[in-house]
């Protein structure tokens, strides 16, 4: 019988996950299908019970259900519990276990640009204090070779400070204002935008003025639509190294796939499918 996997969220019509995962199943000869489920918030609990009744083998979770799904699970991975959000669920002999592969997916994509051993010598500036920022911050903090220091910049400094204070992992970190973040660009090695500023259709917006960014610094944006945000274009012109969100999307999906099947998908093929769809939308 064909195994069922999927994505739950609202909306989900734009998602590239079905194309990416179904191709991976086909390449590995796995009899499975990945389906996007657009769930109305009023029907969320009923829908989850329905998916369980169908025996769904695993699913991804996107906005706005990464927190809501947690009360419907039998077990939650410690890192996902600390982050307070789940984006991947596995059916383990009828028990539903939640994980968060967002932060790990991002860090894996970042380590393709910066050597893991060099990460411990880097100062990182994270822009934003939402769910994505928390996943990335906690995952960076949990690395064996963690950054030398992490700054968390947000419009509301208190929110960034609360995020740092709630982190159960010891790490050198400081909450700063966006104004102070502009000054810090002169000394940080990696700048990460975890907000939606600059995402389609608001492609002319930028999360932070890069006028003072160091030459050779990595400027990273978790946005992948557009592939190159205005912010990343300006980073490139300033002599920094641009890093878009495609890698994070691929890596978090690949990690989820491995948890579901115990097999590693072809990440290059996954990337090719995503880039094909994104370039087609241009």
Indicate if the pLDDT at residue 97 is higher than 80: yes
Dig out the tokens for 5 from the structure.
């996997």
Please tell me whether 222 is known to bind a ligand: yes
Please tell me whether 154 is known to bind a ligand: yes
pLDDT, average across residues 83-108: 97
Please tell me whether 157 is known to bind a ligand: yes
CATH 3.40.50.720 domain range(s) in the chain: 104-243
Indicate if the pLDDT at residue 136 is higher than 70: yes
pLDDT bucket at 281, cuts 50 / 70 / 90: low
Return the CATH fold of 104-243: Rossmann fold (3.40.50)
Mean pLDDT of the chain: 95
Please tell me whether 87 is known to bind a ligand: yes
Query: What pTM does this model have?
Result: 0.93
Distance CA 66, CA 60 (A): 9
Please tell me whether 3 is known to bind a ligand: no
Please tell me whether 245 is known to bind a ligand: yes
At 2-61, the pLDDT tens digits run 999 999 999 999 899 999 999 999 999 999 999 999 999 999 999 999 999 999 999 999
State how far Cα 26 lies from the chain centre.
25
As its CATH architecture, domain 3-99+247-280 has 3-Layer(aba) Sandwich (3.40)
* pLDDT reported for residue 37: 98
CATH 3.40.50.10860 domain range(s) in the chain: 3-99+247-280
Beta bridge partners of 253: none
Dig out the tokens for 78 from the structure.
């410690």
List residues with catalytic annotation: 66
Please tell me whether 27 is known to bind a ligand: no
pLDDT, average across residues 82-109: 96
Please give the backbone phi and psi of residue 61, each rounded to the nearest 5 degrees, phi first.
Answer: -130, 130
């Amino acid at each position: 019988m064909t195994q069922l996997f999927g994505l739950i969220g609202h909306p989900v019509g734009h998602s590239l996950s079905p194309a990416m995962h179904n191709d991976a199943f086909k390449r590995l000869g796995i009899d499975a299908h990945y389906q996007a489920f657009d769930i109305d918030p009023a029907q969320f609990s009923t829908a989850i019970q329905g998916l369980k009744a169908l025996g769904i083998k695993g699913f991804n979770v996107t906005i706005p259900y990464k927190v809501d799904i947690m009360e419907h699970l039998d077990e939650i991975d410690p890192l996902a519990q600390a982050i307070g959000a789940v984006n991947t669920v596995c059916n383990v002999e009828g028990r539903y276990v939640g994980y968060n592969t967002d932060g790990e997916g991002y860090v894996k994509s970042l380590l393709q640009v910066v050597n893991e051993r060099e990460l411990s010598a880097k100062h990182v500036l994270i822009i934003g204090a939402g769910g994505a920022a928390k996943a990335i911050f906690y995952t960076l903090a949990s690395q064996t070779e963690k950054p030398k220091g992490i700054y968390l910049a947000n419009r509301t400094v208190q929110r960034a400070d609360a995020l740092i204070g709630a982190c159960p992992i010891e790490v050198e970190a400081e909450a700063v204002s966006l104004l102070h973040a502009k000054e810090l660009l002169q000394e940080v090695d990696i700048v990460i935008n975890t907000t939606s500023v600059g995402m389609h259709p608001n492609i002319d917006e930028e999360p932070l003025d890069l006028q003072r960014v160091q030459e050779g610094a990595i400027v990273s944006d978790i946005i992948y639509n557009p592939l190159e945000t205005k912010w990343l274009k300006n980073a490139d012109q300033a002599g920094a190294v641009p890093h878009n969100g495609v890698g994070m999307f691929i890596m978090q999906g690949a990690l989820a796939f491995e948890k579901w099947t115990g097999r590693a998908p072809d990440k290059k093929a996954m990337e090719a499918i995503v880039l094909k769809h994104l370039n087609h939308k241009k």
